[in-house]
Structure 1
Amino acid sequence: MESDSLVSPEALRHARVRVGLTQHELARLIGVAGGERVSRWERGASAPRPEVLHRIAAAVDIPVDELLVPAQGGPDLRRLRVLAGLSARQVAEQAHLSLPTYARWEAGRIDRIPPTAAIEGLAAALSVSVDDTTAALSVARRGSA
């Protein structure tokens, strides 16, 4: 698991319990094997992939962002990607970027704000505005400093 997971184990457990589902029932509803996986997520031992997180949110009838830890200083690229339900590879492909370039940007290793065309591609892939994408790049950049 990524040590800095965006998923809040407490929010995930609370949402599941609120709708009266067992870990096994939630796992079945979202199409994953067994309640053990849900248990690991709720303990913070691992985190669901973005597309699975979206299935969880739908199963417990809440917005995806309610399953995430609060954003510090605004959403960064990673948060926008998770909210879009996409993997880093999917964003890179849709934005016509190499995966290493996108991964570097998401990690905040950005010397200067990318060209407008690249930001527009990211915005389209993430289904957010160019302004939101530019702000997310700035947040990621500050976060790595």
Structure 2
Amino acid sequence: MSTIGKTIRAARMASGFTQAELADWIGIKNGDQISRWERDVVKPSADSVGELTRVLGVRLDSSLGGSISC
């Protein structure tokens, strides 16, 4: 089963962003937070999920364990 972290990582890599670039695009301070999400240390907030959706062009649904749709 895919986790939301794995889904974020796959979408980020498919979009060609580094963690730092993605962090900048969604308005967070640095790529460390992106790394924490991708490793499933913490889950992104609802606001961050909205920004990830906007920037990466995918829908992330944390309630379904990290599903992704275009």
The structure whose Rg is larger is: 1
Tell me which residue corresponds to 1:43. Answer: 39
Q: CA RMSD in A?
A: 2.0
Matches within 5 A, 1:53-132: 53-65=49-61, 68-69=64-65
Q: Secondary structure at the match of 1:48?
A: coil
Instruction: Please give the TM-score of this superposition, normalised by the length of structure 2.
Output: 0.81
Structure with more contact order per residue of length (Cα contacts < 8 Å, sep ≥ 6): 2
Tell me which residue corresponds to 1:34. Answer: 30
When residues 45 and 61 of structure 1 are mapped into structure 2, their CA distance, relative to the original with a 3 A threshold, is same
Q: Match for 2:18 among 7, 19, 22?
A: 22
Q: Give the distance between the partners of 1:37 and 1:64, measured in 2 at CA.
A: 17
Report the count of equivalent residues.
64
Structure with the larger helix share: 1
Q: Give the distance between the partners of 1:38 and 1:45, measured in 2 at CA.
A: 10
When residues 70 and 36 of structure 1 are mapped into structure 2, their CA distance, relative to the original with a 3 A threshold, is closer
The answer for unaligned runs of 5 or more in structure 2 is none
Instruction: Please give the TM-score of this superposition, normalised by the length of structure 1.
Output: 0.41
Q: Give the distance between the partners of 1:58 and 1:70, measured in 2 at CA.
A: 16
Which stretches of structure 1, 4 residues or longer, exceed 4 Å deviation after superposition?
Answer: none
Structure with the larger strand share: 2
For residues 4-59 of structure 1, what are the alpha-carbon distances to aligned partners after superposition, in whole Å with 9 as ceiling and x for unaligned? xxx61100100000000000000000000100000000001111100111101111
For residues 61-120 of structure 1, what are the alpha-carbon distances to aligned partners after superposition, in whole Å with 9 as ceiling and x for unaligned? 112338x5268xxxxxxxxxxxxxxxxxxxxxxxxxxxxxxxxxxxxxxxxxxxxxxxxx
